[in-house]
Amino acid sequence: MLLRRKSNKHMISITNVSELMDLNFTNVEGKDQTGEEEQDSETYLKSDLVFLSGEELPRCWIDPHYRDQELTH
């Protein structure tokens, strides 16, 4: 899956999509797609990633407390 970094607009190929969707992970492994050669895997903060369209990642992928408000009502 390709995402974009907010900080520098580089495209990142996510190595393990299940980690991306798991809200217990704050970081995810991926490879920067800048340049002509395949880059080594690096760790990226999920909070610094967006979809290629610029849309934010779903809150349920990032925030382990995304439903806490529902439980208090």
The domain total for the chain is 1
Would you place residue 69 in the very low, low, confident or very high pLDDT band (cuts 50, 70, 90)?
confident
Name all contacts of 31-34 with Cβ < 8 Å and 24+ positions apart: 33/2, 34/10
For residue 67, is pLDDT > 90?
A: no
**Which domain does 25 fall in, by range?**
2-71
pLDDT attached to residue 73? 62
Q: What is the mean pLDDT of the chain?
A: 91
1-35 confidence digits (pLDDT tens): 999 999 999 999 999 999 999 988 999 999 999 88
Tokens representing 11? 């495209």
